[in-house]
Chains A and B, each alone.
Chain A
Amino acid sequence: MTDRATIEAWLARIAIGDRQAFVALYDATSAKLFGVLLRILNDRDTAEDALQDVYLKIWHNAHRYRVNGFSPMTWLITVARNHAIDRLRRQRGSGGGAVPDAVDAVADPAPGPEARAIAAGEAARLAACFDELDQTHADAVRRAYLEGETYAELAERFDVPLNTMRTRLRRSLLKLKECLTR
């Protein structure tokens, strides 16, 4: 995996229109983003279209990436994930959920030691904290992130009123946060 400083340097050069840096970034990161798009969209043709759109977004918005101690891979993955979710929801015709403005996904606070600690071993910690949640709610968070399910869709899936779904999920998100910052 290409290191953070290298990807940040590429993004800085892409921001001034450097195509060579863009080619280097594509070659180093497109397999990961394509894997993520395939997983979310579950269709090869759609994922290929999406990959093209995602890299155009990266080309046009590299200046909006902020060097901040958070992983530039997180920024790239978030751009890809949000784009994929947007497509999925349009396909399904699901309403009631706003996909975040992807390119500003990771904003600009200066990194503290805490932020750096969070970046390391993130996946294992997240999994451990999911285990502490009511499994229905952990499942709901995963479905929202990876399937783009909205509150209305989650409420229907778990057969509870929408407001109940929201209240419970918000509580679980706070529990998750408490666990992740423990």
Chain B
Amino acid sequence: MSSDRPDILPQGGADDALAAEYALGLLSEAEARDFEERLVHEPALRAIYARWAEHFAAMTDPIAPVEPPARLRARVMRQVAPRHGGAGLRRLLGWLAGAAAGAVLGAAVLLLVGPVGDLPGLRADIAAPDGALVIGASYAPASGRLTVTRQSGQAAPGRALELWMIAGDAAPVSLGVLPDADSLRLDVPAALREALAPGAVLAVSDEPPGGSPTGQPTGAVLATGVITES
């Protein structure tokens, strides 16, 4: 053994060791804070850390699953009852930021354009990096008229595009399946009009022909847009 000094490590190994110690929970509070600060700015360090997380998680592979009691499931589900406020939107925006980095939305853009005709209207625009699918939409609260215009792209062969509204933390509500035609005007049901407001989200998912059989999105969420005032 050459030395017991912690600063003497093979060249380039310091961050590997540090990331492993962080993942194991061996760093002091101050060291962990410094490391987390670096994680924010250093993609290479994040990659090292993610790899260790993956390696170490393998230690749980031999652990057999144990079915938790049913009453626990009920307790958990009660705790995630829909809440009001912007939490859902914040989560969505956070997820979109991550999705953009991960290119998961890659294939689609939902662009909500300004109102056609009757003012005042609602709009928003959100773009994913790849414009393979571009759908424009606008909404006039006064008339309850939603106009959706597909500017490019289409459903995958044998699949359909379904439009959803998500208000707050409530489950998505279907607004209908998009037709093959380039544009669609639909009258939003009176019960949904109040929820279709700034901050609510429109999303398009990939579904079987005729739309989701379950009343909730079953396929990938291809595109989302946050509604704002135009």
B16, B25, B51, B72: the one contacting A98 at CB < 8 Å is B25
Contact digits for B63-86, partner A, Cβ 8 Å, 1 yes 0 no:
111111100110111011010000
CB <8 Å contact, A67 and B104? yes
Cα distance A132–B104 in the bound complex, in angstroms: 39
How large, as a class, is the contact surface on chain B? 35 or more
CB <8 Å contact, A17 and B98? no
Interface: A131 (CB within 8 A): no
Closest-by-CB residue of A relative to B36 is A101
Contact digits for B203-220, partner A, Cβ 8 Å, 1 yes 0 no:
100000000001011011
Dominant secondary structure at the A interface? helix
CB <8 Å contact, A173 and B91? no
CB <8 Å contact, A98 and B28? yes
* Chain A: interface residue total (CB-CB under 8 A): 87
Contact A32/B27 with A9-B220, A109-B50, A174-B13 known, Cβ cut-off 8 Å: no
A17, A118, A125: the one contacting B91 at CB < 8 Å is A17
- Which residues of chain B are near A66, meaning CB under 8 Å? 98, 101-102
Chain A interface (Cβ within 8 Å of chain B)?
A: 8-9, 12-13, 15-23, 26-27, 30-32, 34-36, 38-39, 48, 51-52, 55-56, 59-60, 62-68, 70-71, 73-74, 77-78, 81-82, 85, 96-101, 104-110, 115, 118-119, 122-123, 125-126, 141-142, 144-146, 148, 150-151, 163-164, 166-171, 173-174, 176-177, 180
